[in-house]
Chain A
Amino acid sequence: DAGVTQSPTHLIKTRGQQVTLRCSPKSGHDTVSWYQQALGQGPQFIFQYYEEEERQRGNFPDRFSGHQFPNYSSELNVNALLLGDSALYLCASSLRDIFTTTDTQYFGPGTRLTVL
């Protein structure tokens, strides 16, 4: 049973560029969340996708956008990269429990983005 996968593993970009990160959820999961983990910090929630729509968003600017595909995989796009966007980007998947909302999020290995 494949877990959450993310690509690429590492990425180096320069300021002002755009980047796309990809995530495939764990088998059977339908919800994908993205988190940013800066060095020495805990992950911070960016947004969550369910049924191909952004359902919830954290305190991140519009430069951060995403997409979910019919097969539940997801992309995170960041435009106009800043040095401060350098971080580990984590994708988490879950199976939405619409009654109790007690689903558990399982994380992928992350994509390390370095902005120079």
Chain B
Amino acid sequence: AQSVAQPEDQVNVAEGNPLTVKCTYSVSGNPYLFWYVQYPNRGLQFLLKYITGDNLVKGSYGFEAEFNKSQTSFHLKKPSALVSDSALYFCAVRDLRTGANNLFFGTGTRLTVIP
């Protein structure tokens, strides 16, 4: 079975400070991990993904994520937060071993960047 946990419902950070949004996953095989962002009344926008290779993945809008196999984590990071980064962030996983294409999503973390 596959699952994703986002332990924090809400993250607040001051503008200009680094931000981290946490994600841990559980899959039987090799994980294929994603981060998506959702703005109010909008669909999900793709930020980045990890399949294999370097554990640090760079994505859109200055975001990056660090894959840690031993901790089964895939935390989203940004060196300097912007007010416009305030949104709902979702981590998702696919199990490459099963060949299934559907994504399993976490419950989301609401990021608020305080001016």
Contacts and interface: CB of A to CB of B under 8 A. Distances in A.
A56 B107 CA distance: 22
Interface in A64-116: 90, 92, 94, 96, 101-110, 112
By size class, the interface of chain B is 20 to 34
Contacts of B36: 107
B96 interface: yes
Interface stretch (B11-19, B41-49, B60-68, B69-77): B41-49
A94 B43 contact: no
Nearest to B104: A45
B25 interface: no
By size class, the interface of chain A is 20 to 34
Interface of A: 4, 6, 31, 33, 35, 40-45, 48, 55-56, 58, 90, 92, 94, 96, 101-110, 112
Q: Which 7 A-B pairs have the closest CB atoms?
A: A42-B105, A45-B102, A107-B44, A107-B43, A109-B43, A110-B43, A43-B105
